[in-house]
Amino acid sequence: MQGLNKDSKYAYGFSDELRNGVRVVGHNGGIPGYWSELDMFPTKGYTIVILTNQDLALFEPLRKARTLITG
């Protein structure tokens, strides 16, 4: 199944894609007032988990964390 961009995949609830050449496997979701993100970087040995109870509060910390890991 096609994911968010042409190089990503999605199956069993998890996305699998490359970000700056680094493999990222994860899942996200939310409802009004709650957001969550799980990003696993198997080749780097890192995992990002962000849970928030504010709309849109997830995006800036997630961007910063991904930049630290993928460059």
- pLDDT tens per residue, range 28-70: 988 999 999 999 999 999 999 999 998 889 999 999 999 999 9
Both tokens of 11, joined, read: 């199956």
From the list 46, 38, 36, the residue with the least C-alpha distance to 70 is 46
pTM beyond 0.75, yes or no: yes
Quick count: other Cβ atoms within 10 Å of Cβ 15? 19
Distance from C-alpha of 1 to C-alpha of 37, rounded to nearest angstrom? 20
